[in-house]
Amino acid sequence: MLALSSVAAGCGDSGPLTCMALFDVSVSVPMDVRERYMGDFKRFANYCARRDARMHADLIGSDTLGNNIPPLVSDLRPDQPRDNELFDNAQRFRKIEEMVEEISLYVLDDRLRTNGTDIFGGLIVAARRFSGSVGERHLVIFSDGLQSADPFNITKRDLSDPAVVNRIFVDTGSAGLRANLQMATVDMVGVESSEAITPLRQALALERFWKGYIERVQGRLNQYNKSWSAPR
């Protein structure tokens, strides 16, 4: 359980922040990894609450843009701020707990597992959520990074070939799947958990691909790790 003092507003941060979390529920992500995602999400929500951010959450499946799961959103600011750290933190903490509980119902539901992963669609969803916001944007993608939904199944492409990578960028744009992540910090969490990424050179090529792709859609890939850690 998070200590209430850890969600005190301020903490050296400034400016409005919009947060977004995307959860990969494809068959390539085992349930124990999804459970770990929820712990990382709670830490991310805690970080966002320190900034009194608005938090969005959604799922990545085989057809992310067409999923019928209602998107979740929560304003992590206290509803009745009293300029009292303990009282205000209690309100933030309650909102974090409610959002973790609600998104867990979907992320940990084995019936929602899909046979493909549409991360490109997830980036479009995030861009839509960010479009009405002013200020910083922070996106965390809880996924193994294996975009496997057709017609852009990158697991079948040679990502070490610059021409192949550029073709993917061009084709996603032509298909209307090129997001605009301007001003967004992006973290990809869980990428080291996939047993499908072998050998090491393929894993490194996948990391380079996402770093380059996100930069080309005007975002910044900040973390590419097994677990999430708050910015320092």
Query: Which CATH number covers residue 201?
Result: 3.40.50
Structure-token match 């205000």, residue found = 88
Average pLDDT over residues 188-217: 80
217: left (phi over 0), alpha (psi -120 to 50) or beta: alpha
The reported pLDDT for the residue numbered 89 is 78
User: Would 8 be classed as within a structural domain?
Assistant: no
Over 50: is that where the pLDDT of 59 sits?
yes
**HSE-CB for 125 with a 13 A CA cutoff:** 30
Total domains in the fold of the chain: 1
Q: For residue 212, tell me if it sits in a domain.
A: yes
For residue 185, give the 3-state DSSP assignment. Answer: strand
Whether residue 4 lies inside any domain: the answer is no
Q: Which token pair is 194? A: 């996939």
pTM over 0.75: yes
Backbone angles phi, psi at 185, to 5 degrees: -90, 130
Residue 9 lies in a domain: no
Ranges of H-type helices in 58-156: 85-107, 119-130
Answer yes or no: is 187 within a domain: yes
Residue 192 has pLDDT above 80, yes or no: no
Residue 3 in domain: no
Q: Would you state the pLDDT for residue 156?
A: 86
Residue 46's pLDDT is: 92
Provide the token pair at 129. Answer: 């959520």
Where does 51-188 have alpha helices with state H? Answer: 85-107, 119-130, 162-174
Residue 58, C-beta contacts closer than 8 angstroms, at least 6 positions apart: 20, 21, 22, 23, 64, 67, 69, 71, 72, 122, 125, 129
pLDDT for position 167: 94
Residue at 176 is within a domain: yes
In whole numbers, what is the pLDDT of the chain averaged over residues? 85
Q: For the segment 131-174, what is each residue's pLDDT rounded down to a tens digit?
A: 988 889 999 999 999 999 888 889 888 899 999 999 999 999 99
129, 71 Cβ separation under 8 angstroms = yes
Asked if residue 19 is part of any domain, the answer here is: yes
| Domain with 183 in it | 15-225
Distance, CA of 150 to CA of 153 (rounded, Å) = 5
